[in-house]
Amino acid sequence: MRKNNDFATGVIFSVINSISLGILGVVDKIGAGQFSSSIVFSTQSVFYSLIFVNIFALSVYRSSFIPTIKTISLPTMRNIIFVGILASGLYILFRFLGLTQSTGTFATLAQVIITAETAILALIILHEKLSKTFWILFLTILVSLYFVSVGSLKFTPLQNGDSMIIVGATFVAFANIFSKFALKEVSPVILSVGRFFFGFLFLLLTMLLFFHTNIFVFSFWSVLSGLFWTVNVLTFNSAINKIGVTYATAILMIAPVYTMILEYVILKQIFTLLQIIAALVVVICGILMVIFKK
């Protein structure tokens, strides 16, 4: 019974995670476009995420927050540092650089690349088993999301921004594995605090050393982005702690559909019939993937 409850809870966390990621596709697209240098927006976003996640952590742990951090072992702290640099440092940097030349839908679509690479790494390193049904559904989603992206039955070369987003996705795949190792000792909340802390330090140092730009420019979109990234990371860490890194990441593949809807409503972007049908296939396959897993 406990195992079934853990699985249901993990799925709920993953669904919330996918919704937040879908919203971020539009929020980050709009926000990044308001700055001459996207690294300012990305650094601000992670900074606000760090504030929000610390507020949440203090409300959960209260007086035991600092003592809990002090008990973290050196190997686990090393894993948390890797997660921060890879997932909230390099990934965020490449994502926002790519968003200036790409669409929010494609940025969210990169979750498919993360899923593929995470699945391979989890199979090799974590020995997570994957059924044939999973791979059939995964391949179906992969093809469908490609059509969601290009909107026609043809091969379309990737643009500069698209390539940056995909490179960033590779960093997250490795971060997902380090997250799984870290979660053996620390809670999802503590991991989230560490991820944003070291991610912010990485982005801040990168900006100061290489970009020499002013970070003190307030933007409502930076705050909103930070809030949704906080929800996204907290729910994702909680999900992989319940149902494993591969399936938690797989459910996220529905997120591009949410981004597509928001881009249509807010940014007035027009989608073809092929894109709409492919999006429905993604949702159906995502639901079937969860059912067959259970």
Q: What is the spatial distance between Cα 166 and Cα 149, in angstroms, rounded to a whole number? A: 13
The 10s digit of each residue's pLDDT in 190-199 is: 999 999 999 9
CB-based contact 284:50 (threshold 8 Å): no
Amino acid at residue number 179? S
Question: 40: which 2 tokens?
Answer: 């300012």
Question: 19: which 2 tokens?
Answer: 């919704």
- The residue among 105, 92, 101 whose CA lies nearest residue 39 is 92
Give the containing element (helix H, strand E) for 124. Answer: none
Find the radius of gyration of the CA atoms of the chain.
18
CA distances from 268 to 74, 146, 147, 207, 260 (A): 49, 21, 19, 33, 10
Amino acid at residue number 162? D
- The residue among 128, 136, 85, 144 whose CA lies nearest residue 248 is 128
The 10s digit of each residue's pLDDT in 259-271 is: 888 888 888 878 8
- 73 torsion bin: left (phi>0), alpha (psi -120 to 50), beta (else): beta
Q: What is the spatial distance between Cα 148 and Cα 277, in angstroms, rounded to a whole number? A: 8
Q: What is the spatial distance between Cα 175 and Cα 95, in angstroms, rounded to a whole number? A: 15
- pLDDT confidence band for 151 (50 / 70 / 90): confident
pTM: 0.82
Residues 6+ positions from 165 with CB-CB distance below 8 Å: 94, 95, 98, 99, 102, 106, 107, 110
Q: What percent of the chain has pLDDT over 70?
A: 95
pLDDT at site 240: 81
Q: What is the spatial distance between Cα 32 and Cα 44, in angstroms, rounded to a whole number? A: 11
Helical ranges in 62-121 per DSSP H? 65-70, 74-85, 91-99, 104-109, 111-121
CA distances from 146 to 107, 204, 233, 279 (A): 12, 34, 25, 10
pLDDT at 159 over 70: no
